[in-house]
């Protein structure tokens, strides 16, 4: 019998409404014995069943709910159902050649992320409870989905909050971890062993496609280009010339290899420079572009640094706006959950005011649908993406 946990009176309202997390401060007490990672049952103060999930009292997020059905067993068949539901959803909404196969809480498997690159899968386990089922999930990927190989990238620092070590390595027989994928007609080298996160950012797939219509015959600059994805999409779309900028020499070298892979060496060039300095240099040189793309890494990963992040986004967008031709386009994004849509919108508006520009919104998008936004889970919504005409 599972250990039973009871919440303080009036606590756990988000969990009752569908959020999968129970925080340590919401727990009044428990009845029974448990070991961290075990499946436990959760009840309100009045004894109403909320759900069952795994526990880790080391973490501020103490219980992560897996099911609201008191009779549902958490076993291999449970995870098989979850993975098939996730896959069926993605087949409906997105190109699945390479995609996010499982998005943790938004796919009702808290703490687990799976990315698919062709027939190879990368797993990221971020919670102690789901770690116990890792091999079960690998077996299902091989048995049901024909995985040729599975690699683990559980090297995210958030694991330390769970009292877990960072780890990475093969979960099946070893294979070549340098993979070539294709998205929106663009090919990329993906290093799933040493690339950032799981090797490639799949969440901007639809947004990269969205810039095609504004890049034909355009002069384009892509700031914080990382893998060169926006720059290469601009090139494939028929841009006249594209400059990709990144502060990492390693990233720039990878971008150049991706340009060769797509026969775009004569159209798309990459330079290693700080984003703010590059934009400032182009402004003082009098250089302007038809399309300016700003896709920086998250400026904040906590509530404590939101104000500094807002200043950073304003500064970057201000400098970007100064090098957009009149009637040209600004593409700007934030991938930080803590930078709310309202705060991000304000940072852009303040930048436009200071730059003396009028913005006409062309499009607003979020993360691709293989990174679904669960309305009961605010944390699943993080990416904000705008295209503006600059007047």
DSSP letters of 257-268?
HHHHHTT-TTTE
- Give catalytic residues, as residue numbers: 335
- For residues 63 and 82, membership in a common domain is answered with no
Q: What is the pLDDT of residue 68?
A: 97
Report the largest interatomic distance among the alpha carbons of the chain, rounded to a whole angstrom. Answer: 72
Give rounded-to-5 percent helix, strand, coil for the chain.
35, 30, 35
- For residues 318 and 350, membership in a common domain is answered with yes
Residue 146 in any domain: the answer is yes
Question: For the domain that residue 267 is a member of, what is the CATH number?
Answer: 3.40.50.150
- For residues 113 and 234, membership in a common domain is answered with no
- For residues 150 and 248, membership in a common domain is answered with no
Residue 197 in any domain: the answer is no
Q: What is the pTM of this model?
A: 0.95
Residue 214 in any domain: the answer is yes
Q: What is the DSSP letter of 339?
A: S
Look up the domain containing 132 and give its range: 76-177
Residue 373 in any domain: the answer is yes
Strands 289-294 and 324-334: parallel
H or E element: which one contains 128? helix 128-131
Q: What is the pLDDT of residue 298?
A: 83
- For residues 360 and 221, membership in a common domain is answered with yes
- For residues 238 and 348, membership in a common domain is answered with yes
**Of 44, 67, 90, the domain-final residue:** 67
Residue 324 in any domain: the answer is yes
Residue 370 in any domain: the answer is yes
- For residues 161 and 116, membership in a common domain is answered with yes
Cβ atoms of 291 and 328 closer than 8 Å: yes
- For residues 171 and 287, membership in a common domain is answered with no
- For residues 62 and 85, membership in a common domain is answered with no
Question: For the domain that residue 41 is a member of, what is the CATH number?
Answer: 2.30.130.10
Question: For the domain that residue 106 is a member of, what is the CATH number?
Answer: 3.30.750.80
DSSP letters of 86-117?
HHHHHHHHS--SEEEEEEGGGGT-TTEEEEEE
Residue 198 in any domain: the answer is no
Side-chain half-sphere of 314: how many Cα atoms within 13 Å?
A: 15
Residue holding tokens 């508006």?
A: 349
Residue 196 in any domain: the answer is no
Q: What is the pLDDT of residue 195?
A: 87
Q: What is the pLDDT of residue 151?
A: 98
- For residues 221 and 295, membership in a common domain is answered with yes
Tally of domains within the chain: 3
**3-class secondary structure per residue, 161-212:** HHCCCCEEEECCCCCCCEEEEEECCEEEEEECCCCCCCCCCCCCHHHHHHCH
Instruction: Note down pLDDT in tens along the chain; length 391 residues.
Output: 899 999 999 999 999 999 999 999 999 999 999 999 999 999 999 999 999 999 999 999 999 999 999 999 999 999 999 999 999 999 999 999 999 999 999 999 999 999 999 999 999 999 999 999 999 999 999 999 999 999 999 999 999 999 999 999 999 999 999 999 999 999 999 999 998 888 899 999 999 999 999 999 999 999 999 999 999 999 999 999 999 999 999 999 999 999 999 999 999 999 999 999 999 999 999 999 999 999 998 887 777 788 888 999 999 999 999 999 999 999 999 999 889 999 999 999 999 999 999 999 999 999 999 999 999 888 999 999 999 999 9
- For residues 35 and 95, membership in a common domain is answered with no
Cβ atoms of 159 and 126 closer than 8 Å: yes
Q: What is the pLDDT of residue 196?
A: 84
- For residues 52 and 85, membership in a common domain is answered with no
**Of 49, 67, 85, the domain-final residue:** 67
């Amino acid at each position: 019998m599972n250990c039973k946990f009871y919440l303080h009176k009036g606590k756990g309202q988000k969990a009752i409404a569908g959020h999968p997390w129970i925080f340590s401060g919401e727990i009044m007490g428990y009845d029974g014995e448990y070991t961290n990672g075990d499946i436990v049952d959760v009840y309100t103060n009045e004894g109403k069943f909320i759900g069952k999930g795994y526990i880790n009292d080391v973490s501020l997020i103490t219980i992560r709910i897996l099911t609201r059905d008191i009779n549902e067993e958490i076993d291999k068949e449970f995870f098989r159902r979850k993975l098939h539901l996730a896959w069926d959803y993605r087949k409906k909404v997105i190109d699945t050649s390479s995609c996010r196969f499982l998005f943790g809480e938004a796919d009702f498997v808290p703490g687990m992320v799976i990315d698919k690159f062709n027939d190879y899968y990368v797993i990221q386990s971020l919670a102690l409870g789901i770690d116990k089922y890792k091999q079960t999930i690998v077996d299902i990927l091989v048995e049901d989905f024909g995985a040729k190989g599975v690699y683990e990238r559980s090297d995210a620092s958030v694991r330390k909050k769970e009292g877990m070590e960072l780890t990475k390595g093969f979960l099946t027989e070893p294979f070549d971890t340098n993979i070539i994928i294709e998205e929106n007609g663009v090919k990329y080298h993906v290093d799933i062993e040493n690339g950032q996160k799981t090797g490639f950012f799949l969440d901007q797939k639809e947004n990269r496609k969205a810039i095609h219509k504004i890049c034909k015959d355009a002069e384009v600059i892509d700031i914080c280009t990382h893998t060169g994805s926006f720059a290469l999409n601009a090139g494939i779309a028929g841009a006249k010339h594209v400059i990709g900028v990144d502060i990492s020499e390693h990233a720039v070298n990878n971008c150049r290899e991706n340009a060769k892979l797509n026969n775009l060496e004569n159209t798309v060039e990459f330079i290693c420079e700080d984003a703010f300095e590059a934009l400032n240099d182009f402004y003082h040189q009098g250089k302007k572009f038809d399309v300016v793309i700003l896709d920086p890494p998250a400026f904040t990963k906590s509530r404590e640094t939101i104000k500094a992040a807002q200043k950073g986004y304003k500064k970057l967008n201000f400098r970007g706006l100064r090098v957009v031709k009149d009637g040209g386009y600004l593409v700007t994004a934030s991938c930080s959950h803590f930078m709310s849509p309202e705060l991000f919108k304000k940072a852009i508006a303040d930048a436009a005011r200071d730059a003396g520009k009028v913005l006409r919104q062309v499009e607003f998008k979020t993360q691709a649908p293989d990174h679904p936004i669960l309305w009961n889970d605010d944390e699943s919504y993080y990416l904000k993406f705008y295209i503006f005409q600059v007047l």
